[in-house]
Amino acid sequence: MKVEGLLGFLGAALGIGFSLMVLVIPDISQALEEESFFFYMLTIGSLVLSGVGLAGSFIVSHKPRLGGAMMVAAAIGCTMSISIMFLLPIVLLAVGGLIALINYEEAASVGE
């Protein structure tokens, strides 16, 4: 697995873990002072988008453009979550996706 796949995998795994922690452990949402339906919907959205980032981290080795776009989209979508806990997964997904996209563009320009 390349560096971008590894970064995407770590970011997505942390995003899924943090989302499940917020959904399962009610004390976390109380500590964040958010116990609304909207907060839980944003957390579920972050869980789904982290799954998209996880799929992108596996796809990036075969299709770097698609996998990188999926990881960047997951990072952008996860910024909707209110919790500061998602900062590390967002950064890891974004960096991994951007590395995949930049390497794809460089390989395409060298091949011409």
Confidence at residue 38, expressed as pLDDT on a 0 to 100 scale? 79
| 41: Cβ contacts below 8 Å, ≥ 6 apart | none
Predicted TM-score (pTM) of this structure: 0.84
> Would you write out the chain's pLDDT as a tens digit for each of its 112 residues?
588 889 999 999 999 998 888 888 877 767 666 667 777 888 888 899 999 999 999 999 888 899 999 999 999 988 877 667 788 999 999 999 999 888 876 666 766 5
Helix (H) or strand (E) holding 87: helix 87-111
Residue 110 half-sphere exposure toward CB, CA atoms < 13 A? 6
